[in-house]
């Protein structure tokens, strides 16, 4: 049986913004099933943005659980992420879910996985999905060589570059932005 592929999500914190961008492609084997999927969501009164890679229903179940933890811990991103990772790793039904989630607020970027990972990047760029490494390389180059670009411009261009290399990534983009200066 073929498996679903096709997600590239990037988070970039740069020049007073956090930008989260994702492509829209979902593929089953060598067939594009959907080109405009929305893999990014705002949570916690729009103060947290999440993007996911993996099985869609699994990712939605994880995101719902994450939102519960965010509400329980008054929007504290890191605390909610650690509690989600612990629950995800130890809960019998959640353990089988196949997804990776990126989450951010105006201060932090985090990768959360079912193996118990809660990782913060060294360089304020996080990616996941089939085109993630291409987008990561592009974003690092853009931050270094075009620092005048905004976080949203870097994130969008990085996904576009990934879409030219990765057959499971397209250029139908979803973008969400947080302003670091105004966020509380």
- 65-86 tens-digit pLDDT: 999 999 999 999 999 999 999 9
Residues 6+ apart with CB under 8 A from 1: none
**Which residue out of 3, 7, 128, 174 is catalytically annotated?**
7
Structure letter (DSSP) for residue 96: G
pTM for the full predicted model: 0.92
Least confident segment among 88-92, 126-130, 168-172: 88-92
pLDDT of residue 183: 44
pLDDT of residue 158: 98
pLDDT digits (tens, 9 = 90+) for 146-160: 999 999 999 999 999
**Distance of CA 91 to CAs 58, 84, 98, 100, Å?**
14, 10, 14, 16
**Nearest CA to 121 among 112, 69, 159, 75?**
112
> Up-side HSE of residue 116: CA atoms within 13 Å toward CB?
4
pLDDT > 60? residue 108? yes
**Token pair for residue 5?**
């592929």
Structure letter (DSSP) for residue 157: H
- CA 149 vs. chain centroid, Å, equals 20
pLDDT of residue 76: 97
State the Cα–Cα distance between residues 166 and 73, nearest whole angstrom: 38
pLDDT of residue 56: 78
Stretch 94-115: mean pLDDT, rounded? 88
Matching CATH number, 4-176, of 3.30.70.260, 3.40.50.2300, 3.40.190.10, 3.60.20.10: 3.60.20.10
Stretch 125-139: mean pLDDT, rounded? 96
pLDDT > 90? residue 121? yes
For residue 166, the tally of other CB atoms under 10 A from its CB is: 22
State phi, psi for 5 to the nearest 5 degrees: -135, 165
**Nearest CA to 22 among 60, 65, 56, 53?**
53
Average model confidence (pLDDT) across the chain: 91
The pLDDT confidence band at residue 2, using thresholds 50, 70 and 90, is very low
pLDDT digits (tens, 9 = 90+) for 23-56: 999 888 888 989 999 999 999 999 999 999 887 7
State the Cα–Cα distance between residues 116 and 174, nearest whole angstrom: 27
Active site residue 7: yes
């Amino acid at each position: 049986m073929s498996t679903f592929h096709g997600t590239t999500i990037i988070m970039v914190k740069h020049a007073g913004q956090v930008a989260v961008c994702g492509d829209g492609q979902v593929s089953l084997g060598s067939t594009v099933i959907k080109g405009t999927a929305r893999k990014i969501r705002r949570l916690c009164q729009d103060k947290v943005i999440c993007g996911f890679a993996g099985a869609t229903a699994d990712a939605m179940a994880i995101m719902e659980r994450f939102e519960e933890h965010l509400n329980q811990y008054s929007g504290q991103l890191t605390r909610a992420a650690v509690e989600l990772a612990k629950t995800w790793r130890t809960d019998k039904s959640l353990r089988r879910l196949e997804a990776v989630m990126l989450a951010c607020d105006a201060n932090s970027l985090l990768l959360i996985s079912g193996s118990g990972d809660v990782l913060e990047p060294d360089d304020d760029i996080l990616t996941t999905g089939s085109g993630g490494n291409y987008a990561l390389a592009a974003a690092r180059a853009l931050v270094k060589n075009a620092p005048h670009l905004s976080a949203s411009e870097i994130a969008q261009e990085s996904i576009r570059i990934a879409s030219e290399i990765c057959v499971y990534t397209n250029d139908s983009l979803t973008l969400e932005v947080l302003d670091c200066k105004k966020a509380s």
